[in-house]
A and B are shown apart, each in its own frame.
Chain A
Amino acid sequence: GAVVSQHPSWVICKSGTSVKIECRSLDFQATTMFWYRQFPKQSLMLMATSNEGSKATYEQGVEKDKFLINHASLTLSTLTVTSAHPEDSSFYICSARVGVQYEQYFGPGTRLTVT
Chain B
Amino acid sequence: QKEVEQDPGPLSVPEGAIVSLNCTYSNSAFQYFMWYRQYSRKGPELLMYTYSSGNKEDGRFTAQVDKSSKYISLFIRDSQPSDSATYLCAMKEKSSGDKLTFGTGTRLAVRP
**A residues at B contact (CB < 8 Å):** 4, 6, 32, 34, 41-44, 46, 49, 91, 93, 95, 97, 102-109, 111
Contacts and interface: CB of A to CB of B under 8 A. Distances in A.
The dominant DSSP class at the A interface is: strand
Chain B: number of interface residues, binned into ranges? 20 to 34
Nearest to A107: B43
B81 interface: no
A30 B28 CA distance: 30
Interface of B: 4, 8, 32, 34, 36, 41-46, 49, 88, 92, 97-100, 102-105
A106 B8 contact: no
Nearest to B32: A102
B41 A46 contact: no
A6 B43 CA distance: 10
Given A46-B99, A104-B100, A109 B46 contact: no
Most buried by A among B34, B102, B104: B102
Contacts of B49: 102-103
Contact of B100 (A41, A46, A111): A46
A108 B42 contact: yes
Contacts of B41: 91, 109, 111
Contacts of B36: 106
Contact of A43 (B46, B97, B98, B102): B102
A41 B98 CA distance: 23
Contact of B8 (A6, A41, A95, A103): A41
A93 B100 contact: no
